[in-house]
Amino acid sequence: MGHTARVGGEQPAESLQALGDRVYAIHIKDAILDASHPDAMKDGWRYVSPGEGELPLAEAVGLLKERGFDGWAVFEHEKRWHGELPEPEEAFPKYVAWMQAQDNRR
């Protein structure tokens, strides 16, 4: 979900329209555009926990839920390549709490 919005400039509804009913699994990660931050990547973005960034993750999950999506939702935590990210013991519970909050939104 991060790359379609961050790199491709697509809104979730556009992505889903293009994909149709061929969505079987999603990867979730969030990011903030902040080129001045020391942890920013070359394109100016830096990864943060789901729901803490600027990507339209909640909108995308909501649209999928409206369609009856029941596939895998994979948390993409890139600690190995981005050492500044929180440890998995902190990041995974935050992801679970964020996903549970999405269940309660609709």
Ordered DSSP codes for 21-82: T---EEEE-EEEE-TTSTT--TTSEEEE-TTSSSS-HHHHHHHHHHTT--SEEEE---TTT-
Domain count across the chain:
1
Q: Taking the CA of residue 81 as centre, how many other CA atoms within 13 Å lie in the half-sphere pointing to its CB?
A: 7
What whole-number distance in Å separates Cα of residue 93 and Cα of residue 4?
25
Q: What is the DSSP letter of 92?
A: H
Domain that holds residue 94: 2-105
**Mind listing the pLDDT tens digit for each residue in 45-54?**
999 999 999 9
In DSSP terms, 26 is beta-bridged to 73
> pLDDT by residue (tens digit) across 48-74?
999 999 999 999 999 999 999 999 999
What the block records as the tokens of 82 is: 């981005």
State the pTM of this model.
0.88
Please report, for the domain that includes residue 33, its CATH number. 3.20.20.150
Contact yes or no for 45/30 (Cβ under 8 A)? no
